[in-house]
Structure 1
Amino acid sequence: MKKILEISLGIVTSVGGFLEIGSLATAAQAGSAFGLQLIWAIALGTICIIFLVEMAGRFAAVSGHTISDGIRERFGFNFFLLPFLSTLLLNLMVLAAETGGAAIALELATGIAFQWWALAVAFLAWLLLWKGTFGFIEKCVTILGLVTLCFVVAAVLLEPDLKAVAAGALPSIPQHDHASYWFMVVSILGASISPYLFLFYSSGAVEDKWDETYLGTNRAIAGLGMSFGGTISIAVLIVAALVLAPNGVDQITDYHQLSTMLVPVFGRWGYWLFVASLGIACFGAILELGLQQAYLAAQGLGWNWGEDRKPSEDPGFSAAYTLALLLAAIPIVFGFDPLNLTILSMALTAATLPLTVIPFLFLMNDERYVGKHGNGTISNSAVVLIIMLGSILAIVTIPLELLGGI
């Protein structure tokens, strides 16, 4: 019964946590600019995160290590330093984008400019991390995140052409703006397979004291949960393609343009459903990212760590998420555009993913850590191919898009 509950909570976690500001922004941008053509990119990213999350949970359950801890121990601190620093910096960019997203939601709700909300959002997140437990944060925020299912309902009620949806699930060559098209592919992959997702998952598995008896539970959470989350992202793309594009919104330059996405389906309640979805999804991601920054710092530097510990028992861990939340709020306070920050950080995430995933793949094939539960040919091949694709696309399209202007 306990494991069934874990599976249920894992699926709910995906529903509430998969759709954060990166997934929302990239899916909506893709739908408004290219219609249903980029459904395949979300599907590809979802397949990749299923593999990575399953691997992360299996590694934690069998070895008792988190991914960060395992990389540092297996390869040494000097090797670990590059993925450690790059992940910290990218996570900070994404955390700033999520803080901006939550602040934008509060601006939409109150009319008060988002810059004034950044520190308040950061303080509330810090207070929950300081006072809360891992279980409380995981369950409460993700259950509230069920509101994001409104995008799935809207996508169904808008009655999209199923043949066009099916065609969008297959890779295609764009008819216009080739650089922007492939840049969106890279951004979608970055949003779907951000390192913090599977790094956080491995830390959560250790926090929950998983062992080998949880391997079946882990597979169910990875497969069902991430697929459900990917479905929500595809729904956002469909809604954007059917609502924003026909109204002349083919380039999203501001989050305010997204606020009417759900209005044709739900009327005036659609506005508030969007605000709630944006605010809750972003705030949930802020808590996860704040924790992940603390996990990464503590595991990388050998400190005590654990959200269920009192701050006095792991002062370095607590100081890490405190500093991360503060630093992430600063650019938003000074009016940095959250949308540009989101799209760019997602693309850079895809480009730097190999720094974390390649050593992780070595760990998943090291019998000293995973014994007989190491990766098979399919898992290794799938992840390597997808990471190579993301890296090649990022190397080619990011410079082109930056030179042309995002």
Structure 2
Amino acid sequence: MSRFGDLFKRVGPGIITGAADDDPSGIATYSQAGAQFGLNMLWTVVLTWPLMVAVQSISARIGRVTGRGLAANLAEVFPRRFVGLLVACLFIANTVNIGADLSAMGAAAQLVLGGNRHFYTIGFAIVSLLAVVFVPYHRYVGYLKWLTFSLFAYVGVVFTVQIDWLAVLQGVVLPRFAITAESLTLVVAVFGTTISPYLFFWQSSEEVEEEEADPEAGPLVDHPEQADRELTRIGWETWLGMGFSNLVAFFIILTTAVTLNASGQTDIQTSEQAAAALKPIAGEWSFMLFSLGIIGTGLLAIPVLAGSAAYAVAEVRGWRTGLERKPSEAGPFYAVLGGAILLGVGIDFMPLDPIKALFWSAVLNGIITVPVMAAMLVVASRPKQMGAFVATLGQRVLGWTATAVMAAAAVAMFVLMA
């Protein structure tokens, strides 16, 4: 029983990180992919799973090996102006993502309760800010992680809708779609919402917090005897957490493909249309399930988005960091975190539908991820930073493959837009 309990505790962070990756931006992007291109976008989440595992494992390895977050390590290798530019891009992308998530959460609450969307958006922002400042994050997510299981409603489509599994396999292995600016923009959005830069900074910094919270632990460069255990843990937990994330993403695309796309609805303009994809499963309760998924993953993702921006800025500036610390112990860190959330609220008052805001925040992430990922791979390959624990050959190959694939998609998108 004690072994099971220990395993359950260890699984938690990986599962939560994976669930946070399926945030409202992810749900909106995957829904749009399935509605617009049917089964022909399933390949994207299958391809990104091993690539996602590689880059997330590398980011976690950097934090656990060095005892410093990703931004702090980048600042030791690259010119500070370059790192500052990366961090500024991260802050902008995260703020847009936070605003889009909050807007979608407000729209989701309006679907169920009626009333004013902006009122709910501001309420969720205040709740998120107060929770992340005054409640230790490990306890906060303990209250919320069960909400993410509402996302499994999408998985239920396999039991309620007749599916041509041969066509599903073809969509994974031999997709058919015209290479246009529109299709490549959607590919960049799927890549960007799946392999997001904020998760690199987050996972690296959380490994540092885990190490600092354990009096018997230390950076692996100083405590190499702990390496086998910790690097093995990082490996299987990342495979499991990212597997959960991509499994849900796969079924969101599948569900919207066999419902919305099959019925001729190929462009999701509103939250109501996205919720309609669940009607074959939940009937009149579809809006409730959709709202729980949006709100639950949003409440999980906002601290991750704001926290990763705060970690990055604070590490570059040399400030004290930590979501487990009190505000009086890390004032500037929490100021950046709170500023990202409050600035994000302004997105809700822009004349842009929440679903569209979510989609374009994913596209923005898909562009910014490329230089961040390349810089991270350089750090992970340097013995001066990593000692004997540089990224493995497999991680480097998959990491640079992910960088090349995402860079090619972004460049091709811009070329076809011109």
TM-score (norm 1): 0.93
Query: Aligned residues, how many?
Result: 401
Describe the shift of the 1:399–1:25 C-alpha distance in structure 2 as closer, same or farther (beyond 3 A).
farther
Describe the shift of the 1:123–1:399 C-alpha distance in structure 2 as closer, same or farther (beyond 3 A).
farther
1:359, 1:136 → 2: CA distance?
33
1:141, distance to aligned residue in structure 2 (A): 2.3
Alignment partner of 1:107 is 2:110? yes
Contact 2:160 2:280 in 1 (8 A): no
Describe the shift of the 1:302–1:22 C-alpha distance in structure 2 as closer, same or farther (beyond 3 A).
same
2:86, 2:47 → 1: CA distance?
24
In structure 1, the partner of 2:390 is 374
1:79, distance to aligned residue in structure 2 (A): 2.7
Contact 1:155 1:236 in 2 (8 A): no
After the TM superposition, which of the residue ranges 90-99 and 139-148 deviates more from structure 2? 139-148
Alignment partner of 1:333 is 2:336? no
In structure 2, the partner of 1:231 is 247
Summarize the alignment of residues 6-405 of structure 1 with structure 2, pairs less than 5 Å apart: 6-14=9-17, 16-174=19-177, 176=178, 178-209=180-211, 212=227, 213-398=229-414, 400=416
CA deviations on 1:3-47 (whole Å, 9 max, x unpaired) are 623432134314532311222111111111111111111122222
1:122, 1:37 → 2: CA distance?
36
Task: Give the letter aligned to residue 205 of structure 1.
Answer: E
Partner SS state of residue 251, structure 1: coil
Describe the shift of the 1:85–1:130 C-alpha distance in structure 2 as closer, same or farther (beyond 3 A).
same
Contact 2:44 2:190 in 1 (8 A): yes
Contact 1:106 1:117 in 2 (8 A): yes
User: What stretches of structure 1 of length at least 5 have no aligned partner?
Assistant: none
1:118, distance to aligned residue in structure 2 (A): 2.1
2:295, 2:210 → 1: CA distance?
27
What's the RMSD between the two structures over aligned residues? Answer: 1.9
Contact 1:67 1:199 in 2 (8 A): yes
1:334, distance to aligned residue in structure 2 (A): 4.1
Contact 1:199 1:292 in 2 (8 A): yes
Contact 2:91 2:340 in 1 (8 A): no
1:336, 1:323 → 2: CA distance?
22
Partner SS state of residue 373, structure 1: coil
Describe the shift of the 1:177–1:356 C-alpha distance in structure 2 as closer, same or farther (beyond 3 A).
closer
Calculate percent identity across the aligned residue pairs. 22
1:270, distance to aligned residue in structure 2 (A): 2.4
1:389, distance to aligned residue in structure 2 (A): 1.8
CA deviations on 1:62-83 (whole Å, 9 max, x unpaired) are 1111111110122242231121
Task: Give the letter aligned to residue 117 of structure 1.
Answer: Y
CA deviations on 1:327-386 (whole Å, 9 max, x unpaired) are 000120344322222222212222222221111111111112222221233222222122
Task: Give the letter aligned to residue 190 of structure 2.
Answer: I
1:306, 1:169 → 2: CA distance?
41
TM-score (norm 2): 0.91
Partner SS state of residue 121, structure 2: helix
Describe the shift of the 1:284–1:297 C-alpha distance in structure 2 as closer, same or farther (beyond 3 A).
same
1:149, distance to aligned residue in structure 2 (A): 1.5
Contact 1:46 1:230 in 2 (8 A): yes
